[in-house]
Amino acid sequence: MGMNVGSSDGGEDEVVSAINTTPLVDVMLVLLIIFLITIPVVTQSVNLSLPKETNVIRVTKPENIELAVTKDGDVYWNTALVKSKEDLMERLRGVAKMDPQPEIHIRGDEKTRYEAVGKVILACQQIGILKLSFVTEPPSRS
């Protein structure tokens, strides 16, 4: 780095026509360091292995139980209406005691609120159901 001290003859000040870029370079280096430190923090995310869309043929076994949730929030055990949450919990307790446990397939109507399906999932979790799956329609091929 250079510094202009002045002339030794004590004359008038000369006009320096060169631009001093040292402060500009210092500021740019500081900004570069700040960006290098903060960019990994901003782009950091949880590593997940997201599911790919697959079309798995469902094997229907007689012991599997289908829980259907209508758009009104009504729950059906296979084709029988479940009248209350307690009734659902009691039926799930019976399934949880079986060895091996049958799979529970949840079918939710397209217009069903997540809350209604979430209550069924929570009931299965509280009872200790091990195999829970969702039945969906495959996407159209248009």
pTM, rounded to two decimals:
0.57
Pure H helices in the chain: 22-42, 85-96, 114-127
pLDDT of residue 25: 92
Instruction: List residues bridging with 80 in a β-sheet.
Output: 77
Instruction: List residues bridging with 66 in a β-sheet.
Output: 105
pLDDT of residue 99: 84
pLDDT of residue 139: 66
Q: Which amino acid is at 130?
A: L
Tens of each residue's pLDDT in the chain, 142 residues: 555 665 556 556 677 778 888 889 999 999 999 888 887 766 656 665 655 666 666 666 777 888 999 988 899 998 889 999 999 999 999 989 888 888 898 888 888 888 999 999 999 999 998 888 888 776 666 6
In terms of DSSP bridges, do strands 132-134 and 75-77 run parallel, antiparallel, or are they unpaired? unpaired
Q: Which amino acid is at 37?
A: I
* Domain ranges (residues) in the chain: 65-134
Q: Which amino acid is at 49?
A: S
CATH topology of domain 65-134: Nucleotidyltransferase; domain 5 (3.30.420)
